[in-house]
Chains A and B, each alone.
Chain A
Amino acid sequence: MGAVLEARGLTKRYGAALALDGLNLAVAAGETLCLLGANGAGKTTTLNLFLGFTAPTAGAALVDGLVVAEDPAAARARLGYVAEVVSLYPSLSGAENLAFFAGLAGVAVDPARRDAILARLRFPADAILRPAGTYSKGMRQKLGLAIALMKEARVILLDEPLSGLDPAAANDLVGVLRETAAGGVALLISTHDIFRAKEVASRIGIMRHGRLVAMIDPASLSAGELEHMYLTHMAERAA
């Protein structure tokens, strides 16, 4: 299956600092790639480059074959984005938030389809008409995913989606992410959480100093082995 998300020698430099150094990766439809790494490893920069929020110094980020820097709006039309904390308008209801963000993508919300997506995401049905200011973090993450699914995004980028969630909510969200990927959506997830990454990812990339230093098949390693490998990479960094 062809890659819907691709980085070709993707490089980003902020002044003297090299935030991303020649990243090459590809994510196919239905695949989940988790990027693991410490703060400053280049995970968020990678997401920003795919979102077209910043321009690459060299190389290219491609979404569904489109070079993001050449037409960020067209690339974003194919992308969904779930931030670490999904930012919603607190005085608007979940339904209004969903309708607004989907509307920006040119999607008119059909309530039946919306309710089906929300049910798939196990979002409490009665909460959608409540102000978003009353939502828990897990609910916000799910609504963020719902926005991406409403626009039928082929790729969803998630920035630390599991951080700060209680174990039950994190389990719940992992299940939802698996089902989303199973539906043919490519997921690129930036995370610190090795164990959750192993649960959800098809592949795990370890990033350090803006470089992809390892690409791992999580099924081939136990959780302990994965942790050991990750810590080894981090220790090399410290050294």
Chain B
Amino acid sequence: MSPAAIAASVAAKDWAEYRRDWRLALISLLVALLAVTAVVAAFVEVTAHDADRRATIAADRVTWEGQGARNPHSAAHFAFWAFRPLPPMALLDPGVLPYAGSAIWLEAHNRNPAQARPAEDLAGGLDLGRFSAAWVFQYVLPLLLFIIGAGLVAREREAGTLRLMLASGLAAGQVMPAKYLALGRIAAVLVLPLLAAALVATLLAGPVDGVALLLWLSAYLLYFAILAALAVAVSALCATAAQARLLLVGLWLVLLLIVPRLGSGLAMQAAPVPTPHDFAAGVQAQMKSGHDPFGKDGKAFEAAVMARYGVTRLEDLPVNIDGLRLEAAEQHGNRVFDAAWGRLAATHEAGRAALRLAALLSPLVPLQNLSMALAGSDAAVQRDFQDRAEAHRRRIISLLNADMTAHAGAAGFDYHADAALWRRAPDFAWQPPGTAAALARSWPDALALGLWLLAALGLLRLAGRRLAAGQQ
């Protein structure tokens, strides 16, 4: 009998035992129910969000164009919104999006933070933002895999069936590959239908990049391969199934709960992020201390403009100076925003780099990074949305300032533009960064997962050697 046939035979036997254990079947059913509930809830949320977003954009456009005749700068304060779509793959992994705003109010003089965070709408503060397919795959299924895997070798040793297996012809070196395959088969039966259901729901929710989906799936299969190897190795190294179960539950706590939380906490200590209040106060202080063409720098600004146009009196300017003043103030504000938001992004990046060190201690950390990046729901995507919304704000404000500069003349702030100008302001259109960008920022996570697999397989091999050396 070939090693592959022996491994398949052991896997088939373990699967038959698993199927007939009603307790495991019940737990598996509950996990499946949990996953399906998460997928259905996410499908409803993603599709409802998209419908809401489209309806709100349309209503916002009607309001914008229907605001009547008014001064362009008044319109710049009347303002409009940029709405972030929920990527269909957020159905699989919502990532940071439940905690990140999905709408930004675009107005003159201010770069506003994103608001309308789904997590704020949760009843009683219940953290349902994490109740997702990814949550089931990242936390619940691994626990189930560990519980099932704990007994795979240890129980055979305790019951004496391992001796009979070896005496019947199974080579000691074949035990670990066979048991790994056995757990893989059980995991496949558990995981694949859930993944398939999640993928179908994702495809129904909207257009999805097939490559991203395939890579996302591969990342999870890699994750399960790591955990299955750990489970079988621990089962082989422990004297009893109860001991293996205890150790694996402990490992689950440490690897999947404690290390990522600890890593996150240490990352926040290493790169502390200012509170929203402090951040806004810092920006305001910078704004006030800088260039002010309406106040302390007004005379110098007027002189510079008159020199540029070759006139000596403001009345002789061919343009409206208030429009220019507004644009100059806007440019100053933009520089302040760029510096402040740049520092914030650098702080986030430093925190992310610090958290990445935890990837060496927990396979969940790189998996989460990879999963969110491929699903288009990580902080980088949110930052891109905010940056693009800010660029859009600046384009619109510049358009309004330019109109004021060109057409207000002596009327100044009494000048009124009409719907023709409002219609020239484009809608906010944003495409999230694609799969290539996700991979460019997440390859260290993919590498870390690969290293974890090598380490887990190494442990499996070590456990196999101990078994072969007569530790049975």
Contacts and interface: CB of A to CB of B under 8 A. Distances in A.
A81 B17 contact: no
B169 interface: yes
Contact of B17 (A91, A104, A144): A91
Contacts of A104: 1, 6, 9-10, 165, 168-170
A89 B13 contact: yes
A105 B169 contact: yes
Interface string A80-104: 1101011111011000100011111
Contacts of B168: 76, 81, 101-102, 104-105, 147, 151
A92 B1 contact: no
A215 to B, nearest CB: 26
B171 interface: yes
A54 interface: yes
B132 to A, nearest CB: 35
A55 interface: yes
A25 B198 CA distance: 65
A79 B13 contact: no
A83 B163 contact: yes
A92 B160 contact: no
Contact of A106 (B1, B160, B167): B1
Interface in A123-168: 144, 147, 151
B470 interface: yes
A101 B17 contact: no
B14 to A, nearest CB: 9
B108 to A, nearest CB: 73
Nearest to B169: A105
A234 interface: no
A195 interface: no
A99 B355 CA distance: 51
A151 B161 contact: no
A79 B159 contact: no
Chain A: number of interface residues, binned into ranges = 20 to 34
A151 B169 CA distance: 10
Contacts of B472: 53
Interface of B is mostly: helix
Interface in A26-56: 51, 53-55
A89 B17 contact: yes
A150 to B, nearest CB: 10
Contacts of B159: 87
B116 interface: no
A77 interface: yes
B451 interface: no
Given A83-B163, A91-B20, A100 B13 contact: yes
A165 B9 CA distance: 32
B278 interface: no
B164 A81 contact: yes
A223 B451 CA distance: 67
B169 A77 contact: yes
A73 interface: yes
A88 B169 CA distance: 16
A53 B9 CA distance: 22
Interface in A171-214: none
Given A54-B470, A55-B470, A104-B1, A88 B161 contact: yes
Contacts of B164: 81, 83, 86-87, 101, 144, 147
Q: Which 7 A-B pairs have the closest CB atoms?
A: A87-B160, A81-B167, A105-B169, A91-B20, A106-B1, A104-B168, A87-B161
Given A88-B161, A91-B21, 14 more contacts: A51-B166, A53-B472, A54-B470, A72-B171, A87-B163, A91-B20, A96-B13, A100-B13, A105-B1, A105-B169, A106-B169, A144-B164, A147-B164, A151-B169
26 contacts: A51-B163, A53-B166, A54-B470, A55-B470, A72-B172, A76-B168, A79-B167, A81-B167, A83-B163, A85-B160, A87-B159, A87-B161, A87-B163, A87-B164, A91-B16, A91-B20, A92-B16, A100-B9, A100-B13, A101-B164, A101-B165, A104-B168, A105-B1, A106-B1, A147-B164, A151-B169
Interface of B: 1, 6, 9-10, 13, 16-17, 20-21, 159-161, 163-172, 470, 472
